[in-house]
Amino acid sequence: MDALKQAMASAAVDVEATLQKVMESEDEPERRLFDSMRYAALGGGKRLRPFLVMQGAGLFSVSRKSARRAAAAIELVHCYSLVHDDLPAMDDDDLRRGKPTVHKAFDEATAILAGDALLTLAFEVLSHPDTHSNPEVRCMLVAALARAAGAHGMVGGQMIDLAAADREMDIGEITRLQRLKTGALIGFACEAGAILGQAGEPQHEALRGYAHDLGLAFQIADDLLDVEGTAEEVGKAVGKDADQGKATFVSILGPERARDQATMLVEQAAAHLAIFDEKADFLRKVAQYIVERRS
C-alpha cells in the first residue's frame, strides 16, 4: 500500500497546486469570497476523485496538465457539494475534514456563495483551452460533469437523501440514492481520463463498470465509518444517520453483511479493469484501500 499512498499523495499535491492557481484573487472587496473558496477547497481531504482522474488519465497517455485540470474541476465540484450539504438547512454539520465547516468559519451567506462560485469555477476550468487542445473533448467534459453533478446526478441524490429520514427505503432505493449522490461524480472521475484520451467505447465501458462498483463500495465504507469510526478519525461528526433514523446499507444489511458486500464489490470493481495492463494497478489497489480506510 505504500506505493499507492505515495501516488495518492502525489496526485493531491498536483491538484492542490492547480486549485491554488485557479482561485487566485486580488485584494478586492469580494476577497472574503475567495478566502472562503480557498478554505473550502485547499489543504484537506483524501483527494480520492483527483487521484481517480490522474490514474484514469495515465491509462491513455493524457498529458499531466490536462489530467490535473480535470481533477481540479471535479474536486471543486466535490468541495462545493460538501459546503452546501453542511449548511444548517441541509445536514447542519459543524465539522468537516477536522475543521469548522465554511458556514461556521465564515457565515451562512458566504458559504452559499462559496459553493456557488466553486461549482461555477469547475466549468470555467474545464472549458479553458489549457485543459485540452480539442474543444470537442472539453465540451464532452463539461457535459459529463454537468450531468453527473446536476439534478440527474449528485443534486438529485442529495434531494432523495434529505427526504430519506422521513420514509422507509429498501436496499434498491438506497442503492439508487447513492448511485446519484456519490456514484455519479465518482463515475465521472473514473471516466474523465478516457474522455481526455479519446479512448474507445470498451475502455469507457470498463471504467464505468469499475466506477459503479467502486462508488457503492465507497459508500458502504462511509456508512460503516459513520457507525464504527470516531469524529477524530473521520474528521466529521459520526453516528448521524442512526440518530436521524436514516436507512443506510449498514442499517439494512447489518455491519457484517455490509462489509462482505463491500469486499465483493471491490473484487468486482477490479475485474472490470481486466482489459488494462499494469498501468491500472493503482486503480485496482485503491478499491481495496477505500474499504479498509479509517477516515
Q: Which residues bind a copy of itself (CB under 8 A)?
A: 23, 25, 28-30, 32-34, 37, 80, 84, 87, 89-90, 107-110, 112-113, 115-117, 119-121, 123-124, 126-129, 134-136, 138-140, 142-143, 145-147, 149-151, 155-160, 162-163, 173, 176-177, 180
Q: What are phi and psi of 96, to 5 degrees?
A: -150, 130
Beta-bridge partners for 100: 95
**Amino acid letter, 178:** Q
| Distance, CA of 3 to CA of 9 (rounded, Å) | 10
How many C-beta atoms surround the C-beta of residue 47 within 10 A?
A: 23
Question: Of the two residues 143 and 231, which places its CB atom closer to a copy of itself in the complex?
Answer: 143
Question: Of the two residues 10 and 25, which places its CB atom closer to a copy of itself in the complex?
Answer: 25
* Sequence-distant (≥ 6) Cβ neighbours of residue 201 within 8 angstroms: none
As measured in angstroms, the least distance from the Cβ of 212 to a copy of itself is 19
As measured in angstroms, the least distance from the Cβ of 171 to a copy of itself is 14
Question: Of the two residues 84 and 212, which places its CB atom closer to a copy of itself in the complex?
Answer: 84
Q: Look at residues 115, 113, 18, 23 and name the one whose alpha carbon lies nearest to residue 64.
A: 18
End-to-end CA distance of the chain: 16
Question: Of the two residues 32 and 97, which places its CB atom closer to a copy of itself in the complex?
Answer: 32
Question: Of the two residues 43 and 150, which places its CB atom closer to a copy of itself in the complex?
Answer: 150
| Distance, CA of 279 to CA of 263 (rounded, Å) | 22
Question: Of the two residues 59 and 119, which places its CB atom closer to a copy of itself in the complex?
Answer: 119
How is residue 284 written as a grid cell? 485496482
Are 255 and 248 spatial neighbours (Cβ–Cβ below 8 Å)? Answer: no
* CA 199-202-205 angle, 5° bins: 100
Q: Look at residues 62, 76, 97 and name the one whose alpha carbon lies nearest to residue 19.
A: 76
Question: Of the two residues 106 and 276, which places its CB atom closer to a copy of itself in the complex?
Answer: 106
As measured in angstroms, the least distance from the Cβ of 254 to a copy of itself is 24
As measured in angstroms, the least distance from the Cβ of 127 to a copy of itself is 4
Are 82 and 100 spatial neighbours (Cβ–Cβ below 8 Å)? Answer: no
As measured in angstroms, the least distance from the Cβ of 253 to a copy of itself is 20
As measured in angstroms, the least distance from the Cβ of 160 to a copy of itself is 5
As measured in angstroms, the least distance from the Cβ of 204 to a copy of itself is 18
